[in-house]
Each structure stands twice: as C-alpha cells, then as structure tokens.
C-alpha cells in the first residue's frame, strides 16, 4: 500500500576492514544504500552490525576501505562532521541526555540547525531568540509526530524504556537527517511498542523521505520493513539482497536462521 521512491546511491561502502588489536571485527565489507530506501543489516550477535554503523557515522575508523557519502569519498570522518553532513543515529543501549527533558533532548538534536554565535547566545536576545523559537516549533512537530506530548517536560531518565527509545528517535529526527541509522530500535519492547515503532519508522521514511539503515533482530520486522537486507556473520558479508532472496539464501539459513539443510 505504501510506496516510496527509491533513488540513486547515497552511501557506498567499499572493502571496509576494521580490527581492534588482533580481533577482526569487519572483514572486507562492501555494500551501498540508495536514497529513500530502508536498508536492514542483520546477523547474529557479534556479527559486526553495530561496528558497521559506528564506521558510517565516524565513531570507528576502519584500517582499510573507503566510504562514499553523497559523492564524496573519504577514509574516515569525525562523528560531529558526519552529523553535519546529514547522518543521525540512535544507539543500541539508549544514549540519551538523561538529566534533560524530552524537549531539551530533541532541541539538542537540532544543534546543527542552529547557527547563531556565542555572543548572541550568551545574551539570549536578538537572532538567538528568534532562532530558539523557530527550532522550538520544529521540535514540537517531532513531539507531535511521535505522540510524546505528555512527556514533553519530563526528564528522560525517568521514562520507561519504550518511551526513551522513542525520544531517542525524536532527537535523531530533529537533525532532519538524510541518512538515519537505527541500532536495534525495537530491542526489549513489547509487541505493542514494537508495532508503534514500526509505524514510526515507516512514517519517517514515507513522510520525510529519510533513508534509513536499520539493525534489528526481529526477523518479521526486518522482512516487513526493509527494501534490501545485508547479512553479516563474524565480520564477513554473507549475503545482500531483497528480503525474499535473503530469506531463501541457503548460506544465510545455515549460518543464521538456523534451519538445517534439506536432505538432497
């Protein structure tokens, strides 16, 4: 029913290898993400999924390979630079500003959208004030979008887990990213919360046209949401393709889905 337009290549990862000491976390990974698609990365624990996201947004610097984002190729970039180029993310273990309110968390997400300098900020007048109001409105739109009006002023550290995940998504959306990296957005949620989150992911993708890279364990969710799926296992690339192709790929079944070979 919902159709979104998938465009050209937005991000291209070529021959990335990453190791910590002698441990090889990613081994010669290459794939691409197209503009407007929902791209899932799956694999068992320790497969290197989160590391892959960390490479994309600049937390980790790979020893080999290159990343091309929006036509610019580079070996590594600092996280705040990645953010300023339009990459936002959420974390596997929620990384919110726990002492701050939901609204402040989302406003902080708009950090890069706000430009006035320290001088005006310090006085809290003139352009800084106008800017603050404009961005407040943008933040309120996100609050409305995610249905979290009731917790606008609550410190996020006190919120239940499912809501924290939602606020974290809100903070990432606040940056109006072109590429959104979601690291297990539904982990630890009950089925109702999962359903809500799925709807938000789809809505973000279709309403704002945001490209999404998603790590998720729930196969039903992955198969439902994704346009294409990349499968990693022990840092190696196992398969890459449409959800149906991946589901029926024998190597993937053997390594990951755990269904034994049919007798030939």
Partner 1 sequence: MIFFIEVVLSGLMAGVMYSLVALGFVLIFKASGIFNFAQGVMALFAALTLVGLMEKFGMPIWLAIIGTIAVMIALAWAIERFMLRPLVNQEPIILFMATIGLAYVLEGMGDILWGSDVKMLDLGIPQGASDWMLDSFDIYIEKLEIFAAATAAVMVTFLAIFFQKTRIGRALRAVADDHQAALSVGISLNTIWVIVWSVAGIVALVAGIMWGSKSGVQFSLSLIALKALPVLILGGFTSVPGAIIGGMIIGVGEKVAEIYLGPIIGGAIENWFAYMLALAFLLFRPQGLFGERIIERV
Partner 2 sequence: MEHDTALDTFPKLLHSHVKLRPDQDAIREKALGIWQSWSWAEAATEIRALACGLASLGLKRSEKLAIIGDNRPRLYWSMTAAQALGAVPVPLYQDAVADEMAYVLDNADVKIALVEDQEQVDKMLEIRDRCPKLEHIIFDDTRGLRHYEQDFLHDYEKIQQLGVEFDHDQPDFYDQEVAAGSADETSIMLYTSGTTGHPKGVMLSNNNVIITARNGIIREGLTSQEEVLAYLPMAWVGDNLFSYAQSYVAGFCVSCPEDATTVASDLREIGPTYYFAPPRVYENMLTQVMIRMEDAAKIKRDIFSYFMEHARKVGVKILNRESVSLKDSLLYKLGNILVYGPLKDVLGLRRTRLAYTAGEAIGPEIFDFYRSLGINIKQLYGQTECMVFICVQPDGEVFADTVGTPAIDVEIKIDDNGEIMYRSPGVFQSYYKNPESTASTKTEDGWVHTGDAGFFDDKNGHLKIIDRAKDVGKLNDGTLFAPKYIENKLKFFSFIKEAVVYGNERDFSTAFINIDLDAVGNWAERRNMAYSGYIDLAGQDEIYQLIKDCIDKVNQDLSQDSRLGNSQIRRFLILHKELDADDGELTRTRKVRRNFVGDRYDILVDALYSDRNQCHVETQVTFEDGRTGMLEADINIWDAAIYPVSAVTQDAAA
Query: Contacts with partner 2 in 138-177 (CB under 8 A)?
Result: 140-141, 143-145, 147, 149-150, 152
Q: Which does 27 bind (CB under 5 to 8 A by kind): partner 1, partner 2, none?
A: none
Largest CA distance in the chain: 76
Nearest Cα neighbor of 168 from 106, 99, 212, 112 is 106
When asked if residue 208 is in the footprint of partner 2 (CB under 8 A), the reply is: no
When asked if residue 27 is in the footprint of partner 2 (CB under 8 A), the reply is: no
Q: Which does 13 bind (CB under 5 to 8 A by kind): partner 1, partner 2, none?
A: none
Q: Which does 19 bind (CB under 5 to 8 A by kind): partner 1, partner 2, none?
A: none
Half-sphere exposure of 92 (CA within 13 A, CB side): 11
Which of residues 25 and 225 has its CB atom nearest to partner 2 in the complex? 225
Q: Which does 206 bind (CB under 5 to 8 A by kind): partner 1, partner 2, none?
A: partner 2
Which of residues 30 and 206 has its CB atom nearest to partner 2 in the complex? 206
Q: Is 87 exposed, middle or buried (0-12, 13-18, 19+ CB in 10 A)?
A: buried
Q: Is 104 exposed, middle or buried (0-12, 13-18, 19+ CB in 10 A)?
A: middle
When asked if residue 129 is in the footprint of partner 2 (CB under 8 A), the reply is: no
Quick one: how far is CA 81 from the chain centroid? 16
Beta-carbon contacts of residue 148 (< 8 Å; ≥ 6 apart): 102, 163, 166, 167, 170
Q: Which of 74, 75, 80, 199 binds partner 2 (CB under 8 A)?
A: 199
Could you list the residues that contact partner 1 (CB under 8 A)?
57, 59, 78-80, 83-84, 88-89, 91, 95-100, 104, 107-112, 114, 116, 118, 121-122, 124, 128, 131-132, 155, 157-161, 171-172, 174-175
Stretch that binds partner 2, among 55-63, 134-142, 216-224, 232-240 (CB under 8 A): 134-142
Shortest distance (Å) from residue 105 CB to partner 2: 15
The residue to which tokens 């499968």 are assigned = 231
Residues that bind partner 2 (CB under 8 A): 1-3, 136-137, 140-141, 143-145, 147, 149-150, 152, 199, 203, 206-207
């Amino acid at each position: 029913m919902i159709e979104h337009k998938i465009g050209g290549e937005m991000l291209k990862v070529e021959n990335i290898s990453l190791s910590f000491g002698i441990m090889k976390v990613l081994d010669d990974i290459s794939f691409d993400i197209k503009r407007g698609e929902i791209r899932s990365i799956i694999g068992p624990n320790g497969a290197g999924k989160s590391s892959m996201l960390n490479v994309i947004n600049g937390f980790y610097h790979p020893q080999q390979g290159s990343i091309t984002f929006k036509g610019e190729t580079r070996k590594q970039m600092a996280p705040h630079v990645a953010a300023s180029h339009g990459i936002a993310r959420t974390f596997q273990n929620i990384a919110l500003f726990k002492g701050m309110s939901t609204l402040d968390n989302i406003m902080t997400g708009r950090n890069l959208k706000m430009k006035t300098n320290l001088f005006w900020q310090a006085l809290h007048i003139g352009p800084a004030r106008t800017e603050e109001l404009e961005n407040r409105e943008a933040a309120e739109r996100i609050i409305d979008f995610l249905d979290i009006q009731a917790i606008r002023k609550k410190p996020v550290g006190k919120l239940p887990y499912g809501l924290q995940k939602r606020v974290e998504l809100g903070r990432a959306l606040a940056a109006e990213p072109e590429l959104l990296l979601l690291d297990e957005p539904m982990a630890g949620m009950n089925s109702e919360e999962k359903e809500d989150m799925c709807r938000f992911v789809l809505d973000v993708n279709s309403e704002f046209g945001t490209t999404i890279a998603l790590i998720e364990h729930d196969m039903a969710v992955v198969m439902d949401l994704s346009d294409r799926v990349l499968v990693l296992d022990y840092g190696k690339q196992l398969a890459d393709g449409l959800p149906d192709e991946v589901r029926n790929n024998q190597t993937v079944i053997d390594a990951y889905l755990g269904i034994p070979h049919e007798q030939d």
